[in-house]
Amino acid sequence: MTRVTILGSINVDTILQIPRLPKPGETLAMSGKQVAGGGKGANQAIAAARAEADTAFIGKVGDDANGKMMLKALQNAKIDTTQISTSNYADTGEAFILLDDNGQNSILVDGGTNQEIKIGDIETAHETIENADFLITQFETPLTTTLAAFRYAKSVGVTTILNPAPAKTDLDPELLKLTDLIVPNETESETLTGIKVTDEASMNAAATALIKQGVKAVIITVGAKGAYYQTKANHGFVKAFKVDAVDTTAAGDTFIGALSSRLNSDLSNLPAAVLFANKASSLTVQKLGAQPSIPHLSEILADGEIKKA
C-alpha cells in the first residue's frame, strides 16, 4: 500500500448555488446552499485515502465546531490525524464557493488556522514524513513551512509532490529544486513560467521551463481536456473521461490524491497514474460538494475502464 503524507489546508466550505456569477453591483438570488468539508489539503488526503493509500495529515484546526467536524471527517476517512494540532488563536479555515449552473466555480478563502502551521509543526512531524512514500503540499499554508517540509522529505528520500495552488509568483527557487513532481493547472503553469497554455506545444514549453527550474517531472491539468505529463525522458497527453459536470470544486484535488495512491515513488508509471487520476476526477465533478463527491476505489474501478493494480 502506498504511504502518503499531506501537509495542507483544512477548510469548511459553504457552497452558494447561483445561476451565474453576479456582475459588479448586482444582486442575485441563490438557488441552494450546502456546507461541506474542504480545503485543498484535506480534499487531497481524502482522495488518497478513498483510493486506498495509507494516508497521514499535517495541519491545524481551530478550537471550534468546524475544527471538530473536520477532524471527525478525516478520521472517518481513515486518515492518521496525529499531526493535526488545535489552535486557540484562530478559527478553522473557511471557503465560500460561488457555483453556477454550468458547474463552474469562484472561491473566496479565509485561511484561518491554516496560516498558523509553523516550522515547529514540521519538526514534530518528522517521523510521519519519513514513513511516507510521498509528501504532498499546496499553497494554502505558509511557504516557509512548505520549504522546511520539503527539505526534510528530500533528506530522508521521500518523493515530493507540489500543487502550486493558489498560484503564486514569489517562490523561493529552492522549493522547485526540492520538488520531484509539480502539478499545476493551466493558469498556475502560466503564473510560474509566463507561458500561456493553449495547446500541447505550449504545455511542452511550460513543462520544459519548470524542469529547467529544477523539478524532475511535471503534470499540467487542463480541466475537461485531460492532463499533460513530462519528465526529462518522455512526455504525453492523457485525455479526460467525458462526463456532464455538476461541480468542479474538488476535481484538481481528487486528481492529485488519486494520482499519489497509484504512482510509483520513482514516477516510473506516470502515464498510468494520470489515467487513474483522470478517472477519479471525472467521478468527482458529477456530484455536488468537495469532499462528499470524492470517489472510493471501488467506484473508480466499477466500470472496468481502469484496471486494478
pLDDT, one tens digit per residue, over 92-102 is 999 898 989 88
| pLDDT mean across residues, the chain | 94
Question: Cα–Cα distance between 180 and 300 in angstroms, integer?
Answer: 26
Residue 163 CA, chain-centre distance (Å), reads: 6
**Residues contributing to the annotated binding site for K(+):** 247, 249, 284, 287, 289, 293
Asked whether residue 306 is domain-assigned, the answer is no
Give 245's pLDDT tier (boundaries 50, 70, 90). Answer: confident
Give 36's pLDDT tier (boundaries 50, 70, 90). Answer: confident
Asked whether residue 123 is domain-assigned, the answer is yes
**Domain housing 101:** 3-19+32-301
pLDDT at 50 over 60: yes
* Size of the chain in residues: 309
pTM of the model: 0.93
Q: What is the mean pLDDT of residues 108-119?
A: 95
Paired residues of 96 in beta bridges: 14, 108
What is residue 2's predicted lDDT score, i.e. its pLDDT? 97
What is residue 103's predicted lDDT score, i.e. its pLDDT? 78
Residue 33 C-alpha cell reads as: 446552499
Give 304's pLDDT tier (boundaries 50, 70, 90). Answer: confident
**Residues contributing to the annotated binding site for substrate:** 11-13, 39-43, 140, 253
pLDDT at 105 over 90: no
What is residue 247's predicted lDDT score, i.e. its pLDDT? 80
Give one DSSP letter per residue of 236-300, joined into a string.
EEEEPPP---S--TTHHHHHHHHHHHH--TT-TTHHHHHHHHHHHHHHHTTSSSSGGGPPPHHHH
Higher pLDDT, 290 or 155: 155
Question: Cα–Cα distance between 258 and 52 in angstroms, integer?
Answer: 9
pLDDT at 308 over 70: no
Question: Cα–Cα distance between 158 and 6 in angstroms, integer?
Answer: 12
Asked whether residue 24 is domain-assigned, the answer is no
- Tell me the Cα Rg of the chain: 18
Asked whether residue 127 is domain-assigned, the answer is yes
Asked whether residue 309 is domain-assigned, the answer is no
Task: Describe the crossing of helices 251-262 and 270-284 by its angle, rounded to 10 degrees.
Answer: 140
What is residue 128's predicted lDDT score, i.e. its pLDDT? 98
Strand 134-137 and strand 159-162: the pairing is parallel
What is residue 301's predicted lDDT score, i.e. its pLDDT? 95
Give 24's pLDDT tier (boundaries 50, 70, 90). Answer: very high
**Residues contributing to the annotated binding site for ATP:** 185, 221-226, 252-253, 278
What is residue 305's predicted lDDT score, i.e. its pLDDT? 82
What is residue 309's predicted lDDT score, i.e. its pLDDT? 57
To 5 degrees, how large is the angle CA 122–CA 124–CA 126?
Answer: 70
Paired residues of 160 in beta bridges: 135
Query: Considering only CA atoms, which of 45, 56, 54, 109 is closest in space to residue 294?
Result: 45
Q: What is the mean pLDDT of residues 41-55?
A: 97
Higher pLDDT, 103 or 178: 178
**Residues contributing to the annotated binding site:** 11-13, 39-43, 140, 185, 221-226, 247, 249, 252-253, 278, 284, 287, 289, 293
Asked whether residue 27 is domain-assigned, the answer is no
Asked whether residue 308 is domain-assigned, the answer is no
Q: How many domains does the structure of the chain reveal?
A: 1
Strand order in the sheet with 32-38: 32-38, 11-17, 93-99, 105-110
- What are the residue numbers of the active site? 253
pLDDT at 246 over 90: no
Residue 161 C-alpha cell reads as: 509532490
pLDDT at 225 over 60: yes
What is residue 185's predicted lDDT score, i.e. its pLDDT? 96
SS3 75: helix
Q: What is the mean pLDDT of residues 41-61?
A: 98
What is residue 143's predicted lDDT score, i.e. its pLDDT? 96
Asked whether residue 77 is domain-assigned, the answer is yes
Neighbours of 203 (CB within 10 A): 24
CATH code of 252's domain: 3.40.1190.20
Do you find a cis peptide bond into 19, omega within 30 degrees of 0? no
End-to-end Cα spacing for the chain: 11
Strand order in the sheet with 235-239: 80-87, 54-62, 3-7, 134-137, 159-162, 181-182, 217-221, 226-231, 235-239
pLDDT digits (tens, 9 = 90+) for 153-212: 999 999 999 999 998 988 899 999 999 999 999 999 999 999 999 999 999 999 999 999
pLDDT at 82 over 60: yes
